[in-house]
Amino acid sequence: MVTLTASYEELTESSAVALAIRLGLIEESSHLTCTEIGDGNLNYVFHIFDHNRKKGLIIKQALPYAKVVGESWPLTLDRARIESAALIKQSEYAPHLVPVVYYSDTALAVTAMEDLSHLEIVRKGLIAGKHYPHLSHHVGEFLGKTLFYTSDFATNPKIKKQFVKQFTNPDLCDITEKLVFTDPFFDSDTNDFEEELREDAKALWADLELQAKAAELKRIFLTSAETLVHGDLHTGSIFANESETKIIDPEFAFYGPFGFDIGHFIANLLLNALSHENEQEQQPLFDHVVNVWATFKEVFTKAWKKDSIEAFSVSNSFLETTFDRILKEATGFAGCELVRRTIGLAHAADLDAIPSPSRRLQQKKAALALGKTFIKQYLAVETASDLVALFQQSVKE
Ligand code: SR1
Ligand code: MG
């Protein structure tokens, strides 16, 4: 693999192509096009396509600031190192569910990876009413394998502590600590919502029972270095089609709680369910909620029985209490994600794109109500079906 020692400079479409050629990832003589396709909040994503060989390549570059806010919000370039290291680690356990990394360069904050343009971003597809029949099975498998094998259940605890160091990600965790676990629960400048939601937001800020539970969940996020989590597993971090799924963008990866990614994935499925009118359209999303948990449990249990290095793993009740705690925490995290995607800085397009203003507001109120319920009742949840039942209740109210 060619190594570059360039210092940081923002790539352009032409310098991204030049880099790909220098690295030998694409042929100079070919008919090449390059388009910046990044629609996330933080990075440039260049799609380079060799029209002669019908071969594509992605070059992703971290910017030294958050694109969604502008240069006034500086952001570490180290996230590019974390992202490529996480993709490589995840590919040890679930190679078919993540893009292949061809090259990474920490100085340029660049990762060159597999072109996934034959797939689509799941959030966009779900908003358009598409179905991904294997989505929850694949995400459940990804989580069951990566979360189990990077934890103390399968990685020698001394080596795991080295991984904890390698994946220490203070700046990106700080974003989550603020934007997911703090700001939406107070009248903060970063919050962003329609004036018509102010009374609901005020009620949330004044709800002491809710605040106490949100504080517990934030503490769990801050202190539970259990496993290598993806850290931002919403439906915009997943590419899929009818048969294939790839989980991308683990720049927020760090050693965190088992339930974090599961909670975020479920919250984003339910945000999409809120954007659809009737139960028939919502049912596949409810099925995904139940199935991602069932698959996660199944894959994790199989790995636990086969590969656990933890002496106490002989106990079935230890496995059951572990799952019980993960599901409860996932529920609380899902609640925080529902709240922050509604009144926080970074919204979910699923709700923002509802065309009728009155329905949009109604569904945002329902998202807030559901988020509050999940946070307040997270310790009472026992099955993934409970989450669907809470959704149905809170939408009726
Ligand atoms: C300033 S970044 C805002 C959000 O975008 C990312 O995808 C994360 O979800 C983050 O919270
Ligand atoms: Mg992202």
**Six-digit token string for 342:** 């509604």
Q: Give the pLDDT confidence of 126-141 residue by residue, as tens digits.
A: 999 999 999 999 999 9
Q: CA 140, CA 134: separation in Å to the nearest integer?
A: 10
- Per the CB < 8 A criterion, the answer to whether 64 and 142 are in contact is no
- The position carrying tokens 């996020």 is 221
- Residue ranges lining ligand 1, Cβ < 6 Å: 40-42, 66, 68, 175-176, 179, 232, 346
Q: Give the length of the chain.
A: 397
Q: CA 139, CA 127: separation in Å to the nearest integer?
A: 19
Is 105 annotated to bind ligand? no
What per-residue confidence (pLDDT) applies to 39?
Answer: 80
- The position carrying tokens 């050629």 is 21
CATH superfamily of 13-114: Phosphorylase Kinase; domain 1 (3.30.200.20)
Torsional sign, CA 279, 282, 287, 292: negative
Question: What is the DSSP code (8-state) at residue 110?
Answer: E
User: Got the DSSP string for 342-362?
Assistant: HHSSS--HHHHT-SSHHHHHH
Nearest to 25 by CA among 116, 90, 91, 114: 114
Q: CA 272, CA 266: separation in Å to the nearest integer?
A: 10
Q: 228 pairs with which residues across the strands?
A: 255
What per-residue confidence (pLDDT) applies to 69?
Answer: 79
Measured in Å, residue 35 CA sits from the centre of ligand 2 at: 18
**Six-digit token string for 10:** 């923002």
- Per the CB < 8 A criterion, the answer to whether 146 and 299 are in contact is no
Nearest to 100 by CA among 243, 234, 248, 237: 248
Dihedral in degrees, nearest 10, Cα atoms 274, 203, 346, 8: -160
Query: Which CATH number applies to 120-395?
Result: 3.90.1200.10
Measured in Å, residue 42 CA sits from the centre of ligand 2 at: 7
- Per the CB < 8 A criterion, the answer to whether 61 and 46 are in contact is yes
Reading the chain (397 residues) residue by residue, the pLDDT tens digits are 445 556 899 999 999 999 999 999 999 987 999 999 988 778 999 999 999 999 999 999 999 988 777 888 899 999 999 999 999 999 999 999 999 999 999 999 999 999 999 999 999 999 999 999 999 999 999 999 999 999 999 999 999 999 999 999 999 999 999 999 999 999 999 999 999 999 999 999 999 999 999 999 999 999 999 999 999 999 999 999 999 999 999 999 999 999 999 999 999 999 999 999 888 999 999 999 999 999 999 999 999 999 999 999 999 999 999 999 999 999 999 999 999 999 999 999 999 999 999 999 999 999 999 999 999 999 999 999 999 999 999 877 7
Q: CA 241, CA 245: separation in Å to the nearest integer?
A: 7
Taking CA atoms only, the protein residue closest to ligand 1 atom 6 is 41
Q: CA 240, CA 254: separation in Å to the nearest integer?
A: 24
Nearest to 264 by CA among 174, 272, 35: 272
Degrees (nearest 5) of the Cα angle 179, 182, 185? 110
Rg (CA), the chain: 21
Nearest to 252 by CA among 168, 334, 335, 336: 168
- Per the CB < 8 A criterion, the answer to whether 122 and 129 are in contact is no
Measured in Å, residue 252 CA sits from the centre of ligand 2 at: 8
What per-residue confidence (pLDDT) applies to 4?
Answer: 53
Rounded to 5 degrees, what are φ and ψ at 76?
A: -60, 140
CATH 3.30.200.20, the chain: domain bounds: 13-114
Taking CA atoms only, the protein residue closest to ligand 1 atom 5 is 41
Number of H helices, E strands in the chain: 14, 12
Rounded to 5 degrees, what are φ and ψ at 102?
A: -95, -30
Measured in Å, residue 63 CA sits from the centre of ligand 1 at: 14
